[in-house]
Amino acid sequence: MHEQELDAVRCTGLGELRTAILGALPQNAVLRLVEECQPALDVHAWWLVGDGVGSKEVNSLSFHLSSAMVVTYLRLSLAERAERCSRLRAWVARTLDGGSRVYDGQEGFDISAVVPLNVFWPDDPSSI
C-alpha cells in the first residue's frame, strides 16, 4: 500500500474508534485522542455534571490503546472492526457504570482504566 492509502485507512479507523467511544459517553463529553507514539492512542474524555443548584463538577475517563491494539484493529475486515467497536463501546459503558457516582456537594470523578485485551482479541483465551 502507498503511504496515502495507509494514512486513509488509519484516519478511517481512528474515526471509527472515536465514534465507538463517543457512543458510550454522555452527550456533552469532550473526547481527545492523543497519538504521542504512533500508532498507540491515549484517550481522554471529560464532561460537566451539575447538582441542579448551579454547581458543576468535571467527570473524566482516561485509557490507553496500545500500538498492538490499534494495529490489530486497522488490519481487520470492516465487519470485524465493527464488532471490535461494539466491544469497545460496551467496555466504556461498563467502565462508566462501575465508576463512582457524584452526589450533591461531591466533586466529580476521574477514572483511569486499563482496556482488557479481549476487547481486541476476543478469541484468544490468553487475553482474558
Global pTM exceeds 0.95:
no
Residue 125 domain flag: no
Report how many domains make up the chain. 1
- Domain residues for the domain of 88 are 3-119
Give the chain's residues under pLDDT 50.
128
Specify whether the CB–CB gap between 16 and 85 falls below 8 A: yes
Residues 74-94 pLDDT 10s: 999 999 999 999 999 999 999
Handedness of CA 20, 26, 30, 34 (dihedral sign): negative
Residue 71 domain flag: yes
* Amino acid (one-letter) located at 56: K
Distance CA 75, CA 51 (A): 44
Residue 128 domain flag: no
Residue 12 domain flag: yes
For 97, other C-beta atoms within 10 Å of its C-beta total 9
Residue 127 domain flag: no
